[in-house]
Chains A and B, each alone.
Chain A
Amino acid sequence: MSAAAKKEHKSNRPERGGVVTFVEAIRQGLWEEMERDPSVFLIGEDVGVYGGAFKVTDGLLDEFGDGRVIDTPISEAAIVGAACGAALMGMRPVAEFQFIDFITPAFDMLTNYAAKCRYRWGAGVAAVFRGPCGAGVHAGPFHSLNAEAFFMNTAGLKMVEPSTAYDAKGLIKAAIRDPDPVLFFEHKKLYRLPRLREEIPEDDYTVEIGKARTRREGRDLSVITFGAQVLTALDAAEELEKEGLSVEVIDLRTLAPMDREAILATARRTSKVLILHEASRTGGIGGEIAATIAEEAFEWLDAPVVRVAATDTPVPYSPPLEEYHLPQARDVLDAARKLAAY
């Protein structure tokens, strides 16, 4: 950038805190971490000039320059590998997948390299791998993925998926400061959802990785969920309240390592558990949650643990097909009523 251009250049710097959307909260978090720590940098496809496909990194190139906001070729393995190499040198890379669906070309780098470095020779890979996940926006089989189950069986990767603006900012900051690799999933439906606009603090805050959050307390049954499905669960809880059912909603926030204490505590409190996730049912992380409860809270249960999840198909494109595939509010209501009546 020339000196003259620089003079005229107005920083696109976000406010600290204030009333923000989900996407703005993440952008604030990235910006503040890059200001705080010169070893933090961004790397990914179209993250620079274009500001990212969802504008999460909008304005960061102008502020921090192309040495710290790096546009790459379409090469997910190179993006992840280079982030790993830089992390070994003490940098704090934040790599973006344009859509989480494109995490699969980097599967090997994540599961074999990033995940195993500390275990193999004590070299923690302090890097964040983030991107938009999730279905429900008619984006078809290649732009709708929920990838968490792919990585749940890999030791060495943390996974985070926030559902509020406050948590999104606090968790992205915590992820950047974490000494181990963190996959950071951002449900694309939440980015600009007016309902998620909230006032967040001005101060520098983080949200601890590994801790779930009780979004609503209840006595009759628990819904354990995360990401965009938290909203479905909260709506269902409100509806069921009118029917006299008191529903607890647990937002996992971190998927790995999972907050087992929170899961077991809610199971023991309400004795009836419904697990809700947007990924396909078979082999989804709901199975792990159900098994944990079955093994360790069996005596507290008054009913079988129930899963509500997507059907076992790819995510279809056409709205009626996608609606059939994804878990809907009515599925949650139906399952909750049956569970309550059990």
Chain B
Amino acid sequence: MKNGSTTKTTASKSAKGEAEEAGARVSADAQGSNGAGDTAEARSFIFLPPPRAEALSVPDPLNERGELVCTDETTLAPAQMRELYRWLQLTRLVEEKLVNLYRQTKVVGGVFRSLGQEATAVGTCYALRPADFITPLIRDLGAVLVKGIRPREIFAQYMAKAWGPSEGRDLNIHFGDIERGFVGPISHLGDMIPVMTGIVLAARMRKKETVAVAYIGDGGMSTGAFHEGLNFAAVQRLPLVVVAEHNWYAYSTPTRKQCAVTNLADKAAAYGIPGYVVDGNDVVACYEVMKKAAEFARAGGGAVLIEAKTYRRKGHAEHDDQRYLPEGELEAWEKRDPLDRYQRHLISNGVATQDALDEITADVRREVEEDAAWAESSPMPEAEKAAYNVFDNSNVPPAFRPKVFGRGE
């Protein structure tokens, strides 16, 4: 520190110096140095370096043959572990069936896959209590199914059928069921964070120990609603757990064009809440991290941010040819497939035999076919039903198409 007369010069000089220093520190950090001992000289302000530049990741758990499996650190009973496999398989097969139906033009809208990231939705949701609430994103079909929504409801929604929960009014998982703790998302990313904050605010007023889980992605976290909602939940110390699925692409936009942090969990610091980073392709780890986070939130600790590092192996929707992917990336992540990996894990740990897993898969296949057939057998909605339910129709009449020169009819 220089004497008082030179402080101003030092300070103004160090603005540029800090920027350079920050850049230097970032690269130093990337090389494993802690960058300490190289601070600004002024005493009249404090310089906070940007968060560590390296991406946080946990070491890969390997089996005896050196193959990638899941973490051994678990409280799950063997029966639960086999059930988890069932949910993963159900998620994948429902989506594969949807692609089939889409190619037969039976799905009216788009199909959005969660291929490669099923473990995040399934594992985290499996750790919740029945009375807890979730709001998924389109790539969290697994969480929706674990919450008790049946595949037939999903098929009917995608095919715009009258028997779907929204009776043809909205797409895919855009519906809700308060009884089952499921609040469907809307297309506007981030909007559900404030809504889920309201869910747990109401639960607290009613003296219930409800935890709400909101799924969001690396893209959705850039919205204003995300910030407002999480900030409010943090201020109110509400039991909201946000699962940030870092799948590296928002449509075609990579994370580096979405935000300047390396770990999405780094953002937790801005809200004064704890953050976790988990391997999103390890279903057991996803379960365990949510168990811990939900416990913390439920006990009055407030909001939590979990970043699950995973990868979106399909395009934004079925039409997307993924021309923006760097060469080799897809192949690298195929090797980390959460379902293959979990299957190996179960077998090498003696939790299930291949035969037992095949039996589960066959059973899931049956359910998928049955439910898809049920949904296909549903009629399309009657056209005039479009007029109903804008408001409570016991209060306000339906919005029928008026006749020309109808004279008030």
Contact = CB atoms under 8 A, between A and B. Distances in A.
A124 interface: yes
B196 interface: yes
A121 B165 contact: yes
B197 A82 contact: yes
Contact of B198 (A68, A86, A108, A210): A86
Interface in B146-185: 165-166, 169-170, 174-176, 178, 183-184
Contacts of A137: none
B399 A73 contact: no
A77 B224 CA distance: 8
Interface stretch (A4-12, A88-96, A220-228): A88-96
Interface string B187-217: 1100111111111111111100000000000
A269 interface: no
Interface residues of A, number: 51
B390 interface: yes
Contacts of A91: 202, 205
Most A Cβ at <10 Å: residue of B184, B195, B390, B406: B195
A180 B391 contact: yes
A41 B225 contact: no
B377 interface: no
Contacts of B198: 81-89, 93
B235 interface: yes
B183 to A, nearest CB: 7
A122 interface: yes
A89 B178 contact: yes
A118 to B, nearest CB: 6
A123 interface: yes
A120 B232 contact: no
Interface in A85-125: 85-91, 93, 105, 108-109, 112-113, 116, 118-124
A73 B399 CA distance: 38
B343 interface: no
A296 interface: yes
A86 B166 contact: no
Contacts of A179: 391-392, 395
A112 B184 CA distance: 13
B199 A88 contact: yes
A78 B228 CA distance: 5
Contact of A118 (B195, B229, B235, B390): B390
A78 B229 contact: yes
Nearest to B184: A121
A81 B194 CA distance: 5
Nearest to B196: A85
A194 to B, nearest CB: 36
Contacts of A77: 191, 194, 224-225, 228-229
B205 A68 contact: yes
Given A73-B228, A113-B195, A296 B205 contact: no
Nearest to A260: B408
A222 to B, nearest CB: 17
B16 interface: no
B235 A73 contact: yes
Interface string A47-80: 0000000000000000000011010110111111
A257 B174 CA distance: 26
Interface of A: 39, 41, 67-68, 70, 72-73, 75-91, 93, 105, 108-109, 112-113, 116, 118-124, 155-156, 158, 178-180, 210, 257, 260-261, 264, 295-296
12 contacts: A68-B205, A75-B194, A81-B225, A81-B229, A82-B198, A83-B198, A86-B199, A86-B202, A108-B188, A109-B225, A112-B188, A120-B166
